[in-house]
Amino acid sequence: MKDFAGKIVFVTGGASGAGLGQAKVFGRAGMRVAIADVRQDALDNAAKELEAFGIKKEDILPLKVDLTNRAEYTAAADKVEEVFGGPPHLLIQTAGVNSFGPIEASTFDDFDWVMGVCLNHVVNGLLIFVPRMIKAYAHKTEFWVATTSSMGAFMAGSTTGPYSAAKAAVCNLMYSYADALKPYGAGATVLCPGNINSNIGNAEKFRPANLKNTGYHVSEGTMKTLRAIHATGIDPVELGEILKEGIENGRILVLPDHHPEN
């Protein structure tokens, strides 16, 4: 996909971190930007940041939605069509959470929360949007689906089980979509970053009340350590530009931290 101006992008997790960076980059490329996130305060701040970044207020649509909830996600998709006049030409699913601890101590809540956001929301979005995108745009105009996975997709670790498994599944799924969408003149891209300067170190603070039974050691100290690690990560706008370049070049897999020349 090469032409973005005047089209619609839908970014999940768009109120923070990588998702907000992507919203800025594709908004700057002339797209109308819908950002979907579960946190209203973060959405309010993100809308202001997008305006300050130069995106027109009427081109910004913040949507408060728990993307693991299919009815809520479907309602958000309906809202985009109502406000922007059609489904997104570009779907970027970036919402994610993490929680780390010994795999053998994991609870069902640990798996349900991490895989619910990192994998199931991606499935929800693909099933809700792709048929609408095909109906509206196939053979008429370019459209694309993208997902933010992680380098974790390629690394299994004793403390990263649910996260790595979800990210690996997302990668695999995007290869299926890349193949499936080709006949419609569309494609798929999966972004696998290493470390991003984002707010994911605070994810545990927003874990839903019904999934709080964790088997891991979660404390202000562990969150502080995560925040310190992520503070050294790539800038979200820079990462958004890398994703854009990947989509423009029709790449399925985009590995921002892979530098074979080094």
Helix (H, G, I), strand (E, B) or coil at 17: helix
- SS3 letters across 42-102: HHHHHHHHHHHCCCCHHHEEEEECCCCCHHHHHHHHHHHHHHHCCCCCEEEECCCCCCCCC
What is the helix (H) or strand (E) element at residue 254, kind and residue range? strand 253-254
Judged by CB under 6 A, the residue of 4, 10, 16, 125 near ligand NAI is 16
Give residues with Cβ within 8 angstroms of 172, minimum separation 6. Answer: none
Binder among 117, 130, 188, 242 for ligand NAI (CB under 6 A): 117
Listed in order, strand segments (DSSP E) in 113-249 are 144-148, 187-191
* Binding characters for ligand NAI, 76-115, by CB under 6 A (x = yes): ------------------xxxxx-----------------
Establish if 181 lies at the interface with ligand NAI (CB under 6 A): no
17 binds ligand NAI (CB under 6 A): yes
- Does 128 help bind ligand NAI (rule: CB under 6 A)? no
Residue 146 binds ligand NAI, judged by CB under 6 A: no
How many residues bind ligand NAI (CB under 6 A)? The answer is 32
| Residues annotated catalytic, as ranges | 163
For residue 174, state whether it binds ligand NAI (rule: CB under 6 A).
Answer: no
DSSP 210: G
Interface residue with ligand NAI among 28, 50, 63, 68 (CB under 6 A) is 68
Which residues ranging from 190 to 249 are in contact with ligand NAI (CB under 6 A)? 193, 195-196, 198-200, 203, 206, 230, 233
Q: What is the CA radius of gyration of the chain?
A: 17
